[in-house]
Amino acid sequence: MKILLFGATGMVGQGVLRECFEANDVTRVVAVGRTPTGITHERLAGIVTPDLFDLESQHDNLEPFDACFFCLGVSSLGMKEPVYTRLTYDLTMSIAKLLLRLNPQMVFIYVSGAGTDSTEHGQLMWARVKGRTENALIALGFKGAYMFRPGIIQPLHAVRSKTAAYRITYTLARPLFGFIRAFWPRAIVTSAEVGRAMLGVARRGYARPILEVQDIQDAAR
């Protein structure tokens, strides 16, 4: 498989990239982002661009791919809805529409979040915007479009968040991960499980377009 990966420098993207390297059937990964990954690997190439809204100039480098793993995301903390919508819905759809035109047989996997609002009318702003994004991606026309809704993500294999506040939070929470997994197993996945699940869904599809935590765990197996 040839994989296009957005957000490879983030915590989820780092875990996904590692699992791609571990998979024998992944022959090439192209990481697209605003900054280089800083990783050297024989199967990895990079596209660095300051403006992800303008990828037309990269047309020749964006085909052909079997799957896109879209791990880009921003925190909604302190953001007004129009700004968050532009960085979440508008950016995702701009990229997805271009990729659909170039790779109509592509599987598109989008990292959303637990609690996303599929009705688009709930009280939580981020959940509405994520729900609108999910719904639009499912309707777009890819060979397969799957929405991943991980809950708590336990980082493994030196995976770490780029955000200082998140790094502190995960460091403090590390002793609790085992407790959470023992008593609320459907609330937590590891970064490795997310990566393996994406690869599994890219290969075989899944029974539902929206994957909650237990679905992600099942797909990872």
Residue 200, CB-side half-sphere exposure with 13 Å CA sphere: 17
Angle between helices 191-204 and 11-22 (to 10 degrees): 60
Domain residue limits, the chain: 2-220
Q: pTM here?
A: 0.90
H or E element that contains 33: strand 28-33
So what CATH class is 2-220?
A: alpha beta
Whether residue 203 contacts residue 1, with contact meaning beta carbons closer than 8 Å, is answered with yes
Report the alpha-carbon distance of residue 95 to residue 97 in Å, rounded: 6
Q: What is the pLDDT along the chain (221 residues), one digit of tens a residue?
A: 999 999 999 989 999 999 999 999 999 999 999 999 999 999 999 999 999 999 999 989 999 999 999 999 998 989 999 999 999 999 999 999 999 999 999 999 999 999 999 999 999 999 999 999 999 999 999 999 999 999 888 887 566 556 555 554 555 556 666 656 666 666 688 999 999 999 999 999 999 999 999 999 999 99
